[in-house]
Amino acid sequence: MSDQIAITGISGFGHHGVLESERVHGQNFSADVTIFLNTRAAGESDDLNETINYAEVADLVHALIVGEPVQLLETLAEKIASAILAAYQLANSVQITIHKPQAPIAIPFLDVSVTIQRSR
């Protein structure tokens, strides 16, 4: 069983989407990130260097949300998962959920989301 670091609701204004109007006008996106790792060394040492700094992760995720546009939520989630796994060797796996509450859907809805899980 792995320990977890979770950050929910990392938000930013991005220009992701298939429709040209989404790419021109942009909209709000948010991401939920769960990182699975072993935190025993950090718990015993009380040393930030023995774990993953969640503030750094939040900055990385935000930069990708507001950064280079992609068409699919799946692609944005994949980029985030790959970046976290590349940056943090302590991460065994990640779960990423991307929320797009203003997706271009003609009927009332609360949210659209895509969730992926990636491991080393």
Angle between helices 73-87 and 54-66 (to 10 degrees): 150
- For 79-97, the pLDDT digits (tens) are 999 999 999 999 999 999 9
- For 12-52, the pLDDT digits (tens) are 999 999 999 999 999 999 999 999 999 999 999 999 999 99
pLDDT, mean of residues 56-81: 98
**Domains of the chain: which residue ranges?**
3-119
**Catalytic residue (choose from 61, 100, 106, 109):** 100
| Domain covering 3-119 in this structure, CATH number | 3.30.1130.10
pLDDT band at 2 (very low <50, low <70, confident <90, very high): confident
79 is catalytic: no
Please, where are the H alpha helices in the chain? 20-25, 40-45, 54-66, 73-87
